[in-house]
Amino acid sequence: MMPALYFAGRPETSVVSKSVTESVARSLTVFVATDGEFRAVADAADRWQPAGDSRKSGTGQVGQTPFSLFQTDMGPANAERCARWVFERNPSGDVLVIGISGALSPRVQFGETVLCSGIAGEAGDRIDCDPDFTTRLTERFAGRKTTFHTGLGVTTNRVICSTAEKGRLHDTYGALTVDMESHAILKVAREAGLRTAVLRVVSDDARHDLPEMNAAFDADFNVRYLKMIAALVASPFDSARFLKNLRPAGRALGQSFRVALGAEPVQ
């Protein structure tokens, strides 16, 4: 999850292509939330083919690993809806949830990668990622220049903007990172009996606030642009840092995706 104009998508366009799902070999299914994350992953592929009738899905390959990519749009409800749609049509293979997130721990810095051992929901229920799948990803990051961490993540139903709330979530769950989609996707994947892993690249650290932008989204997490502009203007320093970090975070996400799939990063 990355809450920004650059990264935000619209839920009403999130229905994915049936032809893509049915034509892809049973391999790796990758979920992202936003337009920017989708572009970062697609651009990192050695081979990429967008779906013919949907801008929200496609197929690609990194190194020797083929994958299918689906954009859920922001928020737990959109993530669950998309995951159920996908798994009903292709209920096999491994599942990788990947994207931008906020750091909750002060030891996790901007641009660093978090491989999640599991995801806690705010209701207190934790879903563990598959240990073998996660270990395989961790081994691929070992020895690389990319700084990575392993630990718990947490999913919320809102953007976490203040350092105080980041600290509260860290103290409550011991989590390293926060997003808005992973727990919902893992819940549906567990019901389908699929192996899962979660990879997040940090776009904002625990030491800095984000502009307070929750009011800039409607109930379906469509952007209300005038309210988003007002939120950014109200916190100019936080907004400047936030906007400056977007594209570097996207590049780091693409690099980490390549490493996760066993290929060399793009130099």
Contact 174, 148 (CB under 8 A): no
What local confidence, expressed as pLDDT, does residue 13 receive? 37
d(CA 68, CA 66): 7
| Residue 48 Rama label (left phi>0; alpha psi -120 to 50; beta) | beta
pLDDT at 7 over 60: no
The class that CATH gives domain 11-260 is alpha beta
Q: What is the DSSP letter of 220?
A: T
Contact 202, 177 (CB under 8 A): yes
- Both structure tokens of 162: 């203040």
Q: Of 6-10, 121-125, 162-166, which gets the smallest average pLDDT?
A: 6-10
- Both structure tokens of 97: 């949830």
pLDDT tens by residue, 74-101 = 999 999 999 999 999 887 889 999 999 9
d(CA 129, CA 126): 10
* Alpha helices (H) in 100-181, listed in sequence order: 131-141, 163-173
Q: pTM for the complete prediction?
A: 0.87
What local confidence, expressed as pLDDT, does residue 54 receive? 65
Mean pLDDT of 9-36: 59
Domain boundaries, the chain: 11-260
